[in-house]
Amino acid sequence: MKILVTGANGYLGHGIVKTILDAGIEVIANDFRVDSIDKRAKIIAGNIFEVENPYDYFEQPDILLHLAWRDGFVHYSNAHINDLPNHFIFIKRMVESGCKQIAVMGSMHEIGFFEGSINENTPCRPTTPYGIGKNALRDLTQMLCKQNTTIFQWLRGYYIVGDSEYGSSIFSKITSAVKDGKTEFPFTLGQNQYDFIDYPDFCKQVAAVVCQKQEQGIFNICSGRPEKLADRVERFIKENNYNIKLQYGAFPDRPYDSKAIWGDSTKIEKVLNNKK
């Protein structure tokens, strides 16, 4: 089994690549920059959108795990719409050239404003360019896979908790603030509830899905339970022994954020249990 991972040098990619390699599976890793990619992978740097025959260029992988995406934390960036045709063309070329399994990283922001548990049949009404772009790519990828009898796997990510300063999540920003010597961090009231998943568990779930073919369709990469933002951030600070305090109420909540939203973990738990 050979897996091509795009966006392999990103915050999501480097841990996922390592997890797949640890399982003894061959990885071809691609990104613009490749400095933090596990050296056990075969690394091919470059712009995937500029490759006319990516299936052959990347040595005919059995599986595509497409993580590449610009400005994931900048929900109103024009890149989400401007890049969409390029993502579609790249995946189309891979599918039509013979790649038989396509897995793509999605986002719970495809759903839009919603309260409660999300499953694979929950209607999507995205409200930001990020959510709209991901939602459109999901529909297009599913169409391509259906037309070509290709395995389709959509990995709907939730809120990842990690202590890396290289990222734009609140956890990354707090880590960066601590390393800059700051002792206070401006914050919202933190009462909204989200589905938080620790980074190692996130990587484990993604790897488990793409390394099997039986379960297909949409997967929630999640913990399956809601938790208040304030509680998870305070716990994160304590877990890492950070000397920093939250300035509650410094920022308003984003108007498009749900009050309580989490993923249904039934399907991903089935995949994980089948691996045991």
Which positions are catalytic? 130
118 DSSP β-pair partners: 263
Task: Decide if 103 contacts 91 (C-beta within 8 A).
Answer: no
3 phi and psi, to 5 degrees?
-115, 125
Instruction: Count CA within 13 A, CB hemisphere, residue 276.
Output: 5
Task: Decide if 88 contacts 137 (C-beta within 8 A).
Answer: yes
HEC profile of 150-201: CEEEEEEECEEECCCCCCCCHHHHHHHHHHCCCCEEECCCCCCEECEEEHHH
